[in-house]
Amino acid sequence: MRRKQSGTTARLIVPGVLALAFLWFARATHLPRLAAAPDQPALVTLSIVGTSDLHGAAFPRNGLGGLPLLAGYVNNLRAARASDGGAVLLIDSGDTFQGDVESNLSEGAVIVDAYNAMRYTAEAVGNHDFDFGSVDSPTARQLPGDLRGALKARAAQARYPFLAANLIDDATGRPVEWPNVRPSVLLHAAGVTVGVVGVMTIDALRSTLAANVQGLRVAPLGATIATEASKLRAAGAEVVVVASHAGGRCERFDQPADLSSCESESEIFQVAKGLPHSLVDVIAAGHTHGGLAHQVNGIGIIQPFSRGQAFSRVDVVFDRRTRSVARIQLFAPRRVCAQPDPITENCVPATASAVPTKYEGRAVTPDPAIVRVMAPALQRVHTLQATTLGVSLDVPIRRLGDLGSPLGNLFAEALRDAVPGADAAVINNAARGLWADLPDGPMTFGRLYDVFPFDNRVVRITVTGAELGRWVAAEIRQGRRGGLGISGVAVRAGCLADGIHVDLLRTVGRPIHDEDRLLAVTIGAPTLSGSLASPAPLGGVGPTENAPIVREVVEDWFRRLGRLAQGRLDDATHRSPEYADAQTVDCVALNASGRSQSRVASASPHRATP
């Protein structure tokens, strides 16, 4: 979002040879070829607007984005198409729900409420759309049951289809058939028959919580699109659009055919290059959080960055006489900005006196209807956030202490407490594992949720004293000692001639020997937020379906703590690796590889993995 993305449009004339190929294709498949009514203009425009990777960003941040304002742009475009007899198709390319708290605590319901009111056409399912697992209770506890329950509930709530043509159910060998989740949809817009296919990246199921996608696999995108698009053509589709939770990344948007500013290995380029000519007209891409307005193999590919801060658009100009696409016109991703600062071009929050930005010749104003439809789900979220956990903190508990992580220690303590017989708990807060400090004052569910918004589960692993020691030493060696959270074990770190060395002691002071076997507890990977407590070096055990949810364990711990002395909290948070003296601290710091704590401190709390 650093460079100017608005204003420039580029025209793409489908080469004559491709148009001929399409005519051949249309004839070959015996499509009905309706002539235009005599009083209609020959050309009609379908404006296809793409959103993707919203990640729950329903509301603007620093004047940028927000669904009510996005709806304002779409409303203006719809007015323009209404005046020339065309139509607007609104396509989302997935990773819609996981991200901001308003969406997460409603499991995406607040977003679907808005999308319904915005009259979306269809959306592709993305990898993070599986993140919520089963349906939550009204108190935001995950209920036992179908681990795809939350996603299915969103699809059932939507008045537009969820598309997932290459998501295969292992049990049937066919695309999943859940209510309102299907491979494709055929629809009519301004008298044109349009087919929309949805697909997800080949890596989708490796980029979400493993337990939630058991029994599913992802089929290759190219072959799936070719098969499904051919079916749609045979069923009468005159324009085929792919909603793709797979994408690419380019830096410039002024020349659609010029890919020199693009990442050439982009997944969606490879897919587009492999498709038969003239089978697909448009791909609305996503997943990489990049921007696209490019032409590959005659296909117009658009992608809008992420978090609703911009939208993408391509116009398909359709010739009613020949019943074929006359040309497509690609637009650079357009920022969703209420009021650009005239000098810096940065987006600033709109004020009453501000002159609103214009789109399609009209002032863009946030649509109050979208604000209204989101209100009930939002109210439920605010009530949840304000729920107190029965504890008040005298001082903030921070992620990073001088030597250890007070908040990491607290999480480790809660995890160890939850597993009877556990000797130790370890978590690594180095790379955005815990997303916020806990402020002082009454402890609420909302504050805990801000720290750990994910549904990762508790994992138990058996390790030797030597293995645990090596892992802790490796973490300290990487300069991440402030990110380490430990419970049940005291760490004494020192410097020897061959580098950093740690001794582990049980908290009662007895040493832990190399050959001792320990039951340790940590957070199940993969995490959605970086390299939090990777158990891989400790034996690579994955989370189990029925293991407790980490956040729920910590929530329960706080509720119990309310009846315990404050000393328990101090004990839990102040445990850090011990260093013999200041000289040792310096030596350890010198031996650390340079990936310092500042990397932790500067990590953006709002960036999810694609």
Interface residues toward Zn ion, by CB under 5 A: 95, 126-127, 287, 610
| Least gap, CB of 267 to Zn ion (angstroms) | 11
C-beta closer to Zn ion: residue 94 or 149: 94
**C-alpha distances in Å from residue 463, one per residue of 458, 476, 492, 541, 562:** 16, 19, 19, 11, 33
| Closest distance to Zn ion from the beta carbon of 324 (Å) | 34
CB of 369 to Zn ion, least distance (A): 29
What is the 3-class SS of 333-359, one letter each residue?
Answer: EEECECCECCCCCCECCCCCCCCCCEE
How far is 526 from 513, CA to CA, in rounded Å? 30
Shortest Å distance, C-beta 53 to Zn ion? 6
- The answer for residues whose C-beta is within 8 angstroms of residue 83's C-beta and 6 or more apart is none
| Residue 457 DSSP symbol | B
Here the tokens at position 291 are: 């921007």
Distance CA 47, CA 281 (A): 13
Residue 59, both tokens = 């509301």
Nearest distance in Å: CB 288, Zn ion: 8
Sign, CA dihedral 399-405-410-414, equals positive
Least Å distance, CB 196 to Zn ion, is 19
CA atoms within 13 A on the CB side of 233: 23
DSSP 557-593: HHHHHTTS-HHHHHHHHS---EESSHHHHHHHHHHS-
- Classify each residue of 180-191 as buried b or exposed e, where b means 16 or more C-beta atoms within 10 Å of its C-beta: ebbbbbebebbb
Of residues 127 and 193, the one with the C-beta less far from Zn ion: 127
**Interaxial angle between packed helices 67-84 and 109-117, expressed in degrees from 0 to 180 and rounded to the nearest 10:** 20
Residue closer to Zn ion, measured from CB, 51 or 278: 51
Minimum distance between the CB of residue 307 and Zn ion, rounded to whole angstroms? 12
* Rounded-to-integer distance, Cα 102 and Cα 59, Å: 9
Q: How far is the CB of 306 from Zn ion (least distance, A)?
A: 9
Looking at the Cβ atoms of 148 and 460, the one nearer to Zn ion is 148
Closest distance of CB 266 from Zn ion, Å: 14
Q: Which of 60, 118, 121, 67 lies closest to 92 in space, CA to CA?
A: 121
Q: Judged by CB, which is closer to Zn ion: 297, or 609?
A: 609
| 48, 313 Cβ separation under 8 angstroms | yes
Is residue 505 within 8 A of residue 528, CB to CB? The reply is no
Residue 482 or 610 with smaller CB distance to Zn ion: 610
Rounded to 10 degrees, the C-alpha dihedral 505/508/510/511 comes to: 0
Q: Which is nearer to Zn ion, 96 or 456 (CB)?
A: 96
User: Of 285 and 512, which CB lies nearer to Zn ion in the complex structure?
Assistant: 285
In whole angstroms, how close is the CB of 292 to Zn ion at the nearest point?
Answer: 15
DSSP for 518-543? EEEEEEPSSPSSSSTT--GGGT-PPP
User: Least separation, in Å, of the C-beta of 95 and Zn ion?
Assistant: 4
Q: Among residues 92 and 413, whose Cβ is nearest to Zn ion?
A: 92
The whole-angstrom separation of Cα 573 and Cα 302 is: 48
CB of 245 to Zn ion, least distance (A): 6
Cis peptide before 526 (omega within 30 of 0): yes
| Closer CB to Zn ion, 338 or 608, in the complex | 608
Token pair, residue 297, equals 């193999």
**Complex with Zn ion: residue 422 or 608, whichever CB lies closer:** 608
Cβ distance to Zn ion smaller for residue 73 or 97: 97
**Residues paired with 194 in a beta bridge:** 187, 239
Helix and strand counts by DSSP (H, E) for the chain: 15, 28
Q: Is 194 helix (H, G, I), strand (E, B) or coil?
A: strand
CA distance 179 to 155: 7
Nearer residue to Zn ion within complex by CB, 68 or 94: 94
The distance of closest approach from Cβ of residue 374 to Zn ion in the complex, given in angstroms and rounded to an integer, is 23
As measured in angstroms, the least distance from the Cβ of 126 to Zn ion is: 4
Residues 6 or more apart in contact with residue 465 via CB below 8 angstroms:
504, 512, 513, 514, 515, 516, 518
Nearer to Zn ion (CB atom), residue 233 or residue 287 = 287
Min. distance of Cβ 174 from Zn ion in angstroms? 23
Closer residue to Zn ion (CB): 56 or 465: 56
